[in-house]
């Protein structure tokens, strides 16, 4: 750690982090904000509120070269799509990232989600004698070969960066076990942080099954259509836009056209993060149909509002163990689960109360910020690495 600092400086490397941090005050970029960006923004705010020296390196979304948001200093790196295809990997992305990290001069570099960025951050941290922290954002990040990294260059950079990390963080115990199994790495579990609303949403005012995600094939939004056709007396709200460029939006267009023919399906389109609570206020049930995730932010946010879930994923078996909703395995069991809970107010209310208590106990801000600061060494006084996390 630099001799001039009383506490280590941490930088969150998040190319799409500024829109998540700045909210409605940001200039565009909302379409690129996902769970990883929201988690980094929340953690950064919590740390800054506690007096930590917190920075973020983000792409250029129209903000100034260096700007402050809620006590976090944001250093601008590069424009998201600047440069020539094939060459932009090196300039302006790699060159812009490393120059930004040079200017920030942080003691701890934190990066979330598997990709080439993992290796780029690890190389910078290693060359400058700084601690590198990698955090999983998806179950795929723990596999020997992530199906999300089709480019061999990106897959190699990710694996190299993962194994050079001084600290590896997992979202769940299942992810930690997978990292040990596939990579022989010891990971510390630091769960996603979710702010708890002042009160749960009133069940009596809730009028719909809410589905909230990016509309893409991997999320299986067509399950909502199937359930809507089978349950004409049940109302469904679909909140989500198409995937950002360069991904194709054809699937989203086809899905939206099909929804328009179904009278009990309401399409909201993309919903900015700060407007999600208003959507969840309408949720009698929360639907989650994606088969592969980390620990979904949307699921946790629904639970925090006292909304029980019907979901495919059940990270660490929490849903079944704590009775916060129903877990389904296929389209038919999903529809059956929605039907079973839709008219059962007493059962929904009990599930919702357990869900909210679970989030407060396991994912509340005070709980997670303590786990995080211990895991990454923010309070150890020297900013040095405690080891590389390898089991052998």
Q: Which CATH architecture has domain 9-193+365-376?
A: 3-Layer(aba) Sandwich (3.40)
The C-alpha atoms of residue 321 and residue 339 are separated, in whole angstroms, by: 21
Q: What is the DSSP letter of 318?
A: H
pLDDT in tens, 230-284: 999 999 999 988 877 767 789 889 999 999 999 999 999 888 888 899 999 999 9
Q: Give dist(CA 305, CA 363) in Å, integer.
A: 13
At 294 the pLDDT is: 75
Please tell me the pTM assigned to this model. Answer: 0.89
Average pLDDT over residues 271-299: 90
Percent of the chain, pLDDT > 90? Answer: 77
The pLDDT of residue 374 is 95
Q: In this predicted structure, what is the pLDDT of residue 4?
A: 62
Kindly report the length of the chain.
Answer: 392
Taking alpha carbons only, the member of 39, 35, 47, 38 closest to residue 20 is 38
The structural architecture, per CATH, of the domain 203-362 is 3-Layer(aba) Sandwich (3.40)
Average pLDDT of the chain to the nearest whole number: 91
| In the chain, where the domains are located | 9-193+365-376, 203-362
Instruction: Report the C-alpha gap between 42 and 292 in whole angstroms.
Output: 23
pLDDT of residue 274: 83
pLDDT of res. 28: 52
Q: Is the pLDDT reported for residue 388 higher than 50? A: no
Q: Given a cut of 70, is residue 24 above it in pLDDT?
A: no
Q: Return the pLDDT at 3.
A: 53
Asked if residue 386 has pLDDT above 90, the reply is: no
CA dist list (Å): 261 to 220, 235, 239: 18, 14, 17
Q: What is the structure's pLDDT at 31?
A: 62
Q: What CA–CA distance (Å, rounded) separates 168 from 171?
A: 10
Three-class secondary structure assignment of 79-127: CCCCCCCCCCHHHHHHHHHHHHHHHHCCCEEEEECCCHHHHHHHHHHHH
The per-type count for the chain, helices as H runs and strands as E runs, is 14, 14
> Distance from first CA to last CA of the chain, Å, rounded?
28
Q: What is the mean pLDDT of residues 29-47?
A: 86
What value does the mean pLDDT take over residues 186-208? 93
Q: What angle do CA 323, 190, 350 make, to 5 degrees?
A: 15
How far apart CA 254 and CA 119 sit, in angstroms, is: 37
Give 53-90 pLDDT, tens digit per residue: 999 999 999 899 999 999 999 999 998 888 888 888 99
9-193+365-376 and 203-362 agree in CATH topology: yes
Per-residue pLDDT reduced to its tens digit, 148-188: 999 999 999 999 999 999 999 999 999 999 999 999 999 99
Residue 375 and residue 357: Cα distance in Å, rounded?
24
Q: Which two tokens stand for residue 201?
A: 């949403």
pLDDT of res. 30: 59
Q: Measured between alpha carbons, how far is 331 from 230 in angstroms, rounded to an integer?
A: 11
pLDDT beyond 70 at 361: yes
pLDDT confidence band for 390 (50 / 70 / 90): very low
Instruction: Determine contact, residues 376/133, Cβ cutoff 8 Å.
Output: yes
Ramachandran category for residue 115: left, alpha or beta (phi over 0 → left; psi -120 to 50 → alpha):
left
């Amino acid at each position: 750690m630099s001799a001039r600092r009383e506490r280590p400086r941490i930088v969150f490397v998040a190319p799409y982090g500024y829109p998540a941090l700045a909210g409605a005050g940001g200039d565009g970029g909302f379409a690129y904000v996902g769970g990883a960006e929201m988690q980094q923004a929340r953690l950064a705010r919590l740390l800054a509120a506690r007096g930590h020296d917190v920075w973020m390196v983000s792409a250029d979304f129209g903000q100034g070269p260096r700007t402050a948001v809620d006590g976090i200093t944001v250093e601008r790196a590069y424009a998201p799509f600047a440069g020539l295809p094939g060459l932009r990997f090196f300039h302006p992305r790699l060159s812009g990232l490393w120059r930004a990290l040079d200017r920030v001069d942080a003691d701890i570099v934190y990066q979330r989600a598997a990709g080439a960025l993992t290796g780029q951050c690890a190389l910078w941290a290693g060359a400058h004698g700084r601690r590198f922290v990698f955090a999983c954002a998806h179950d795929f990040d723990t596999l020997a070969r992530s199906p999300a990294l089709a480019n061999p260059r990106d897959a190699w950079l990710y694996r190299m960066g993962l194994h050079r990390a001084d600290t590896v963080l997992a979202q769940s115990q299942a992810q930690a076990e997978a990292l040990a199994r596939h990579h022989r790495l010891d990971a510390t579990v630091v769960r996603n942080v979710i702010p708890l609303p002042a009160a749960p949403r009133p069940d009596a005012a809730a009028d719909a099954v809410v589905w909230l995600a990016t509309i893409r094939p991997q999320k299986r939004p067509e399950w909502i259509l199937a359930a809507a056709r089978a349950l004409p007396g049940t109302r469904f709200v679909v909140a989500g836009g198409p995937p950002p460029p360069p991904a194709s939006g054809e699937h989203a267009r086809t899905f939206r056209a099909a929804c328009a023919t179904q009278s009990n399906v309401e399409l909201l389109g993309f919903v900015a993060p700060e407007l999600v609570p208003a959507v969840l206020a309408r949720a009698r049930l929360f639907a989650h149909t994606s088969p592969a995730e980390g620990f979904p932010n949307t699921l946790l946010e629904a639970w925090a509002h006292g909304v029980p879930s019907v979901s495919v994923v059940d990270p660490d078996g929490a849903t079944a163990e704590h009775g916060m909703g129903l877990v389904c395995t296929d389209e038919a069991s999903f529809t059956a689960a929605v039907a079973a809970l839709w008219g059962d107010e007493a059962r929904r209310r009990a599930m919702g109360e357990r869900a909210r208590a679970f989030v407060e106990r396991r994912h509340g801000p005070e709980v997670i910020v303590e786990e995080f600061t211990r895991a990454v060494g923010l309070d150890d006084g020297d900013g040095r690495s405690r080891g590389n996390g390898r089991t052998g």
